[in-house]
Amino acid sequence: ALTRRVACPDGVNTATNAACCSLFAVRDDIQQNFFSGGQCNAEAHEALRLTFHDGIAISNKAGNVGGADGSIMIFADVETAFHANIGLDEVVAIEKPFVDRHNISAADFIQFAGAVAVSNCPGAPRLPFFLGRKTATSPAPDGLVPEPFHSVVQILDRFADAGPVGFEDVEVVWALSAHTIAAANDVDPNLPASPFDSTPTIFDTQFFLETQLRGTDFIGKGTQPGEVFSAVKGVMRLQSDHLLARDTRTNCEWQSFVNNPQKLHDRFIDAWLKISLLGNDQDSMIDCSEVIPVPKTINVQATFPPTLSNKQVEQACADTPFPTLKSAPGPATAVPPVQRNQALRANLKLH
């Protein structure tokens, strides 16, 4: 049966539910004025990180208060001072004016902006967006956001405790697909915008491949808490990603994503949707996924970075051999830092 669509008051768009109509203007505003005309830039990456740090701050042990409730923006003074939220004061400051000038809650805006952000990255899945989150009445307590220097057990336990259902070990791996479009600004403050894979503006499986390579050096002057040896110049490796790629509880799931973009899509949609709904009841929310842009598709094979090959794989999964893949041609060159929207930052007096 055909779904009847309603004409939106903007005279341009139609929607399956009239409540979604106001999101078109929010989308167009952030694409233009936040993501530099629809780029998978540093701001897009930060918008995605923020969805996680708002959502994951809920604990079954503590009675499931919080989650994706906007507390990280509403109580920004408290929460952006938490060590795990380092650097997020900036994206909160960028996002706040958009919330103020549109009729949308902080909780919904954070997740909506994250879904739009991901759509800007070629190769990404089109993430679903549901409208109607509860609004925070108190800040999240400290200690609920995983840190890169945490052990695998600490990380898996934290995810398992996030919400009444929690996350299975494999779902933690699925969620970490986000690090294919990511960089670190504050792990090594001397090297801001250091990406986690060689293609931080493309939603591909390189992150899972590159973290499985034998680390050879720090990308900066030395170790920072949560940083380990990386295999690729310019690419920062987090200890948490390194350990999850090797731990017996997660290593085969990690490897299974290498050169499997279909699985990457399917599982990231599942894991991210779950994060984006933590603390809320999906059945009482409105599906506005149609407002999220359709990402550009890519057709690439996972490849070893120049000079590296299957020989450098630190095989961890005992069940299945690592896939045999080609190496990118040429000499090893340093992966450049991720571009930031300097004008936007200057306007808000951010560094």
Binding-site sequence positions for heme b: 179
Q: Binding to ligand HEM by residue 148, rule CB under 6 A? A: yes
Least distance from Ca ion to the Cβ atom of residue 207, Å: 6
212 binds, among Ca ion, ligand HEM, none (CB under 5 to 8 A by kind): none
Residue 99 Cβ, how far from ligand HEM at the closest point, in Å?
20
Is the CB of 104 or the CB of 155 nearer to ligand HEM?
155
Q: Which residue's CB is nearer to Ca ion, number 199 or number 280?
A: 199
184 forms part of the interface with ligand HEM (CB under 6 A): yes
Q: Please give the annotated binding residues for Ca(2+), written as ranges.
A: 54, 67, 69, 71, 180, 197, 199, 204
* Partner from Ca ion, ligand HEM, none binding residue 238, C-beta < 5-8 Å depending on class: ligand HEM
Among ligand HEM, Ca ion, none, what binds residue 204 when CB lies within 5 to 8 Å by partner kind?
Ca ion
Cβ atoms 116, 39 nearer than 8 A? no
- Give the integer Cα–Cα distance in Å for 181 and 198: 10
- For ligand HEM, the closer of residues 131 and 162 by Cβ is 162
Q: Cβ of residue 85: shortest distance to ligand HEM, in angstroms?
A: 9
Can you give 131-174 as a three-state secondary structure string?
ECCCCCCCCCCCCCCCCCCCCHHHHHHHHHCCCCCCCCHHHHHH
Give the footprint of Ca ion on this chain (CB under 5 A).
180, 197, 199, 202, 204, 206
Is the CB of 41 or the CB of 199 nearer to Ca ion? 199
Residues 57-90, buried b or exposed e (16+ Cβ, 10 A)? bbbeeeebbbbbbbbbbbbbebbbebebbeebbb
User: Residue from 175, 191, 245, 278 that binds ligand HEM (CB under 6 A)?
Assistant: 175
Residues 59-98 that bind ligand HEM (CB under 6 A): 87
Write out the DSSP string of 255-295.
HHTTT-HHHHHHHHHHHHHHHHTTTS-GGGSEE-GGGSPPP
Q: Is 228 in the site for ligand HEM (CB under 6 A)?
A: no
Give the catalytic positions in this structure.
Answer: 53
Smallest separation (angstroms) from Ca ion to the CB of 337: 14
**DSSP structural state of residue 8:** P
Phi, psi for 194 (deg, rounded to 5): -80, 115
Strand partners, 233: none
Q: Indicate the residue type of 184.
A: A
Task: Rule CB under 6 A: choose which of 155, 228, 232, 308 binds ligand HEM.
Answer: 155
Site for ligand HEM in 128-147 (CB under 6 A): 146-147
Backbone angles phi, psi at 272, to 5 degrees: -70, -40
Contact 263, 177 (CB under 8 A): no
Provide the minimum distance between the beta carbon of 78 and ligand HEM in the complex, in angstroms, as a whole number: 19
**Sign of the CA dihedral 245, 250, 256, 261?**
negative
Site residues, ligand HEM (CB under 6 A): 42, 45-46, 48-49, 52, 87, 146-148, 155, 175-176, 178-179, 182-187, 226, 238, 240, 272, 275
